[in-house]
Amino acid sequence: MEVEDYRQKEKPEDAPDDYKPEWETVVEEKTINSMVPLWQRPRSKVEQEEYDSFYREKFGDWQPPLATVTTSSEGTVTFKALLFIPSATPYDFYTREYEKGLQLYSSGVLIMDKCADLLPDHFRFVKGVVDSADFSLNISREVLQHTRQLKTIAAALEKKIKNELVKLMKDDREKYEKFWAAFGRQLKYSVTEGYGAKKELLQDLLLFYSSTEKKLVTLAEYVDRMPESQKYIYYASGENAAAMDNLPQTELLRERNMEILYLTDQPDQLLMEILREYKDKPLRSAVDGDLDLEDMPEEKGADAYKEALDFIKEALGEEVDEVRVSRKLKTHPVCLTCGEGVSFEMERYFAAAQPEMGFKAQRILELNVEHPAFAALEEADASLGPTEDGGYYLVGLKKPCRALFAGQAYGHESVYENALAAIRGAGLRFRPAPPCRDVDVPEDLCRLPGTVRPDSHTARLLKILEWEGRNDG
């Protein structure tokens, strides 16, 4: 339409120093309002700053989006979509108050502010708008949820989002790792839901910390680096990478420079149970059971160490299900593994989520019979166990073992060494001390620093505690 406007005339070249600006009235053809929404315009004609500004204003985020996705389709169902992946996790994302969904338009008219059916749960972090002329303006929400068009659009968006995330991972790894830090846990939970119904869709988006690469890697990258002789994808669980670098159970793998995926997040163990394998390579815990490696050390005959193994099993009682000679330990004296079935991480997970289930891992204490500590234990065999003159072993063992099996404690090699140090101390004989019920047991009693000496303060405390235990019983 024609619009009347005022503008300043150009200054003449020969204008005097006291020249005053002059204004003129101009009638021009102008487009007052293009009425073309941002998502309807070709991406090539829209600057990223416009998308960022639209996102911040539309969805109330002070940060620009991490990625912008545009897509459209014509045919059975016609639609255009403008999607955004946020840069950070919304404050209420993992609460019941968070509502997923995209804004749904019909020919530029908003018909639903948050259409949850357009987004699957595993991509519920995505924000954006969808515009389709195939929906009636007065359609009810109940009818809309069951329309074929809505399901077709939702399936197309799921595929598009997945492809964009894969592309982001390949083209801009740093930006993808930022996305992973914000929403990686959501993808993990989504793999475990529905007994792994979506694992094929999501498994290539997962990242894990690598023991050899010292960075986040994908399952595909791990498999590409595997030697031909390696049968399994190995993983280990713990509080952090530093703790897992020192796990006694993994030292044989680390000695052979074999890659281990470190799991530090709560849903990781359940995630591995659901995945089971990747590209025909089974996933196997490096902490639990046999490593099944080629050229494994020969199994040392348990019969030769039966007396010592039986003593330790008797002393620990129900704390462990089995005590055996280890084939995986090299320099550490002892480690704790679990048998078939429930792992330690699964036990902790269900203890927190569903304690009524009562899942319990089978505890197996493995001993390195070539370690000097075990040799000291064997030398003390003659005086092991309860004796008439008040020799003790139960208190000296029970205290460290409670620390050994208490939640996260089993991941630290010092606890194992201290447990075996207590076993060595258990072979020492003491004369009974008079009963004393006012003894304060130090907090570090379960972290005995080396062998217990007969004349040490800790030894005297253990002796008193053992005396009280017998008298209380």
| Residue 278 confidence (pLDDT) | 95
Residue 291 to residues 103, 202, 251, Cα–Cα distance (Å): 51, 27, 11
| Residue 301 confidence (pLDDT) | 64
Q: How many CA atoms does the CB half-sphere of 152 hold within 13 Å? A: 15
Angle at 122 between CA 78 and CA 215, to 5 degrees: 120
Q: How many CA atoms does the CB half-sphere of 204 hold within 13 Å? A: 13
**Closest Cα partner for 58 from 120, 122, 102, 123?**
102
| Residue 205 confidence (pLDDT) | 97
In a 3-state reduction of DSSP, which class is residue 109?
strand
Q: Block means of pLDDT (10 residues each) for the chain, length 473 residues?
A: 72 78 76 72 90 92 94 90 95 91 91 92 96 83 80 94 96 96 95 90 96 95 93 89 85 89 88 92 85 72 76 75 84 79 74 75 83 66 41 35 36 43 41 34 34 42 41 40
| Residue 404 confidence (pLDDT) | 35
| Residue 441 confidence (pLDDT) | 35
Helix or strand holding residue 184 (H, E): helix 173-192
| Residue 156 confidence (pLDDT) | 95
DSSP per position, 26-53: EEEE--S-----GGGS-GGGS-HHHHHH
Q: Which two tokens stand for residue 163?
A: 């492809």
| Residue 182 confidence (pLDDT) | 95
| Residue 169 confidence (pLDDT) | 96
| Residue 371 confidence (pLDDT) | 77
| Residue 222 confidence (pLDDT) | 96
Beta partners for residue 364, in sequence order: 322, 337
In a 3-state reduction of DSSP, which class is residue 301?
coil
| Residue 166 confidence (pLDDT) | 96
| Residue 409 confidence (pLDDT) | 38
